[in-house]
Amino acid sequence: MKIPVEQITQSPKEVKFSERIEKLNSLFAKEKYRDFQFPPMLDGTLVYYRSGQELFFHGAFGGKFEGYCSRCLTDYSFKVEKEFDLVLVPSPSRSERRIEELKREELGLSYYSTDMIELAPLIEEQVLLALPTRPLCREDCQGLCGGCGANLNNEECACNPIAASDSRMAIFRTLKVNR
Ligand SMILES: [Zn+2]
Ligand SMILES: [Zn+2]
């Protein structure tokens, strides 16, 4: 969706949006394996208004994404619900830029430089922010046995008991290092 800046007024407007977020899949496809996979479209609502030159957005979206668990290497799906607030300020001219950049860091502002606000990149950014740092099918996922490869969430380890406890310790140590 594109919103012409001139149509953003002081009185808030609410719209429903449906944005294509497929591009995020190609972002993650560059990695060795995909941590996350996204549906083609994401639905949400957006309220927008202005105060002077500053544009304010309050949005919410929800969707079902796929994850690839970093411990047991299994696909799982999870729901994301997120609300976000954004302020866009006009891109400063070159002379103002240094001061503006400092201000931007403090306030977490973003710029707009065209007379059309494109929603897709803003939504994509919010989706990335909503993702967990590591994909885990569940908080207490037991992972795979380093010895026999059994998924310890739902299988008995096939290694002998001593080797099994050793390899479990090995997984534990690796997890700690990777954190
Ligand atoms: Zn898992
Ligand atoms: Zn085992």
Count of C-beta atoms within a 10 Å radius of residue 4: 10
36 contacts 21 by C-beta, under 8 angstroms: no
81 contacts 64 by C-beta, under 8 angstroms: no
From ligand 2's centre to the CA of 136, what distance in Å?
A: 20
Query: What residues sit around ligand 1, an ion, with C-beta below 5 angstroms?
Result: 69, 71-72, 137, 141
State whether 118 and 176 are in the same domain. no
Predicted TM-score (pTM) of this structure: 0.75
Written as six digits, the tokens of 21 are: 């977020």
Q: Tell me the residue range of the domain where 11 lies.
A: 2-130
State whether 87 and 108 are in the same domain. yes
28-32, 157-161, 174-178 — which one is most confidently predicted on average? 157-161
| Residue range 91-116, pLDDT digits in tens | 776 556 565 565 555 555 677 878 88
From ligand 1's centre to the CA of 6, what distance in Å?
A: 48
State whether 89 and 117 are in the same domain. yes
From ligand 2's centre to the CA of 70, what distance in Å?
A: 18
State how far the Cα of 35 lies from the Cα of 44, in Å rounded to an integer. 23
State how far the Cα of 48 lies from the Cα of 51, in Å rounded to an integer. 10
Mean pLDDT of the chain: 84
Per-residue confidence (pLDDT) for residue 99, from 0 to 100: 59
What does the pLDDT average to over 154-162?
A: 80
Alpha helices in 73-160 (DSSP H): 97-107, 119-130
- Identify the sign of the CA torsion 171, 75, 17, 116: positive
| Residue range 117-136, pLDDT digits in tens | 999 989 999 999 999 989 99
Residues 6+ apart with CB under 8 A from 78: 64, 65, 67
Is a pLDDT exceeding 70 seen at residue 174? no
| 53 closest CA partner among 84, 85, 8 | 8
State whether 106 and 168 are in the same domain. no
| 21 closest CA partner among 35, 3, 1 | 1
State whether 126 and 154 are in the same domain. no
Per-residue confidence (pLDDT) for residue 95, from 0 to 100: 56
Query: What residues sit around ligand 2, an ion, with C-beta below 5 angstroms?
Result: 145, 147-148, 157, 159, 164
- Nearest ligand atom owner, CA of 150: 2
State the total domains in the chain: 2
Per-residue confidence (pLDDT) for residue 176, from 0 to 100: 54
State whether 17 and 58 are in the same domain. yes
89 contacts 109 by C-beta, under 8 angstroms: yes
From ligand 1's centre to the CA of 136, what distance in Å?
A: 5
